[in-house]
Structure 1
Amino acid sequence: METQKNNPLHGKTLESIVTELEAHYGWEYMGHQINIRCFTQDPSVKSSLKFLRRTPWARSKVEAMYVNMLKKQSEN
Structure 2
Amino acid sequence: MTNQQPKNPLHGVPLETVVERLVEHYGWEALASRININCFKNEPSVKSSLKFLRRTPWAREQVESLYLATFS
TM-score over 0.5 (shorter chain): yes
CA-CA distance at 1:10 after TM superposition: 1.1
Q: Normalised by the size of structure 1, how large is the TM-score?
A: 0.84
CA contact (8 A) 2:31 2:40 kept: yes
Distance 2:4 2:60 in 1: 24
Structure 1 residues 3, 28: closer, same or farther in 2, change over 3 A? Answer: same
Q: Normalised by the size of structure 2, how large is the TM-score?
A: 0.89
CA-CA distance at 1:7 after TM superposition: 3.2
Residue 58 (1) aligns with residue 62 (2): no
* Unaligned 5+ runs, structure 1: 72-76
Higher helix share: 1
List structure 1 runs of 4+ shifted beyond 4 angstroms.
none
What amino acid sits opposite 1:69 in the alignment? T
State percent identity of aligned pairs: 56
CA RMSD of aligned residues (A): 1.5
